[in-house]
Chain A
Amino acid sequence: MAILSLAGKSLWNRRLTSALVVLSIALSVALLLGVERLRTQARASFANTLSGTDLIVGARGSPLNLLLYSVFRIGDPTNNVSWRSYQTFAAHPQVAWTVPLSLGDSHQGFPVLGTTEAYFQHYRHGRNQSLRFAEGREFTDVFDAVLGAAVADRLGYSPGQSIVIAHGVGAVSFALHDDKPFQVVGILARTGTPVDQTVHISLDGMEAIHADWFGGAPIPGLRLSPEQVRQLDLTPKTITAFLVGLHSKTTIFRMQREINTFAGEPLLAILPGLTLQQLWDLMGLAENALLVVSGLVVLVGLTVMLAALLTGLNERRREMAILRAVGARPGHIFALVLGESLVLALVGATLGVLLLQGGLLVAGPLLEARLGLAIAGWPPSRHELLLLAAVLGCGLLAGLLPAWRAYRYSLADGMTLRL
């Protein structure tokens, strides 16, 4: 303990160099832990987004693409599914329930999802948790809207608010459905999934705002008021995709084959878990590369420490000689220099953890708003603690070299003070 406090005071004496070393270690540790946290929490967040759904069905294309646009609101569908095909499978004897999904519009950059009441009943996330309402109720009217928690938070909306839906999915849109405003009737409790980022309306509402549109633009000269639209048949002609729940899990693969070979229309059915696994396999390489790079950055940080300790050593031979004269053994000198690297690594790693916490406090809400990724800050996971321990271990290992050299010096120099 006496030696460690000496090491601390000696480092304080060289505080500019020490601060730079600590900073480089802190930044590298923050990067390493940040990458690790992002990696695991992104995985957890993705895996928690959808549960209880047996199949996702969309137009034929890439399974990954279907998963991404239907559940994560990433990317665009290549084609739609006809209402007739949807009806066919909704009425299938093996099928317990279906949830239609209709995407393509947005509000202030948040995606608008057209669906039915079945969504609130059957959509499950995390460990089979269903959606709960924080305020208000489900939509019942054509022009009712239910907001995800993040949408309500970010835009400061509460039930009763009137909102206008924009055509397309950009944050800034020039084509607004401003002739048919919606009214917020409910706000969902936070789920930590893309549901939080979504504005939910009924399929009828989705159809209603497009009743006087054709091919992505309003039909010139045709303007229908909300009252006129209500009189129309608002059954949609197409939807983007639909979720399927089966009576029995054993029929999943049979059902998948049946949908994939459906004669009426080229469709694709995927198992969400299996496709998510394909996504991980795809991303695993990039993730590992990122982890390796951040590991290398930690090595660079520790090398900076090594360089600082080694260059300082020659100027500190006098210090070592004084310590020897007052009775320090060469082992004490070894422990002193090793203790310095331990202090540097420990302070650096601690600062790195704090830096990451601070960074998450600032960037966390932004990440959640932009990507729907809820990154928890505290506590660190077991794996992260292991990484931290590895950093400290490497720090000690790196400290062995200057400590050993100081030990050699102290044996060779004794108490003679060479100028």
Chain B
Amino acid sequence: MPETAADLSTMPPAVAITGLRFRWRANQPWVLDIPTFHLANGERLFLAGPSGSGKSTLLALIAGISRPAEGRVTVLGAELTTRSGPARDRFRADHLGVIFQLFNLLPYLSVSDNVTLPCRFSTRRRARAEAAAGSVAAEARRLLAHLGMDEPGLVRRPAAELSVGQQQRVAAARALIGGPDLIVADEPTSALDTDRRLDFVDLLRQECASVGAALLFVSHDRTLADRFDRVAELPALNRAPSAG
């Protein structure tokens, strides 16, 4: 589709990193030293790396929670490194969906309230969710149904009652609500059974494609790698001698 290709080329990349260096304290060794890293708009990237190779730290930098000592992190055309903490938080609320390894949900909220949580912090995502389905709750139900969670009464159940597999799918729905432009997933399948992992990755991939979001999927489980557009190796990107 040439039209799509043209669109993608004019839009800024999802992530562009140049000369990034990060360490926890000033006199400690560098944890990350990445000369360049690139994630195209709408691209689905599998970022591989063993535990402790600095994957979570890189994601925190891309999400704008941490700030590098040197270099530039540009997400969706916005340079995060020059923005203030609250501005980065606002940017994350508007444009990013984050899925963790485990414990993604607030146990005291219902499934529906968990999914709509980002809409409490972002008027942009609230507006987009309402535009998509009429109300944020309807959009939450629609996303959950897409992810195979359409049992009646499920949306009202407390998140704490769900199985781990269900929780991860709710987390995916939460990351996707309100059409963010970039989904960041930090080993979201590590707590799932082997046969459920592929299902989850396929679902996530499909949903990202349907909302047009780029996907940065970080894992050490290479059996999932062939589901993605591209595979990158963090140890190859990172010049820091010993990762933390």
List residues of A whose CB falls within 8 A of some B CB. Answer: 2-3, 6, 9-10, 12-13, 318-319, 322-332, 411, 414-417
Contacts and interface: CB of A to CB of B under 8 A. Distances in A.
Nearest to A322: B106
Interface magnitude class on chain B: 20 to 34
A211 B99 CA distance: 99
B104 A9 contact: no
A417 B94 contact: no
Interface stretch (B34-42, B58-66, B226-234): B58-66
Contacts of B86: 329-331
B119 to A, nearest CB: 9
Contacts of A10: 106, 108
B92 interface: yes
Nearest to B88: A329
A325 B105 contact: no
B65 A324 contact: yes
Contacts of A324: 65, 89
A327 B121 contact: yes
Contact of B63 (A322, A325, A328): A325
Contact of A417 (B103, B105, B107, B120): B103
Interface in B65-112: 65-66, 85-86, 89-90, 92-94, 96, 98, 100-109
Interface of B: 56, 59-60, 63, 65-66, 85-86, 89-90, 92-94, 96, 98, 100-109, 113, 117-118, 120-122, 174
Contacts of B117: 323, 326
14 contacts: A9-B108, A325-B98, A326-B98, A326-B118, A327-B92, A327-B94, A327-B118, A329-B90, A330-B89, A331-B86, A414-B60, A414-B65, A415-B60, A417-B103
A404 B65 CA distance: 19
Contacts of A330: 85-86, 89
- Interface on chain A toward B: helix, strand, loop, or mixed SS? helix
Contacts, number: 72
B90 A13 contact: no
B122 A327 contact: yes
A9 B109 CA distance: 7
A13 B108 contact: yes
Q: Which 4 A-B pairs rank lowest in CB-CB distance, beginning with the nearest?
A: A327-B93, A13-B108, A327-B121, A414-B65
Nearest to B102: A417
Contacts of B105: 322
Contacts of B113: 9
A170 to B, nearest CB: 61
A13 B122 CA distance: 25
A18 to B, nearest CB: 11
Given A9-B109, A326-B118, A327-B122, A417 B100 contact: yes
Given A322-B103, A322-B104, 18 more contacts: A3-B120, A10-B106, A323-B106, A324-B65, A325-B65, A325-B92, A325-B98, A325-B100, A326-B93, A326-B121, A326-B174, A327-B90, A327-B92, A327-B118, A328-B89, A328-B121, A329-B90, A415-B100
B108 A12 contact: yes
A212 B63 CA distance: 102
A202 to B, nearest CB: 73
Contacts of A331: 86
Nearest to B96: A327
B178 to A, nearest CB: 10
Given A12-B108, A327-B93, A416-B56, A6 B65 contact: no
Contacts of A332: 121
B36 to A, nearest CB: 24
Contacts of B89: 324, 327-330
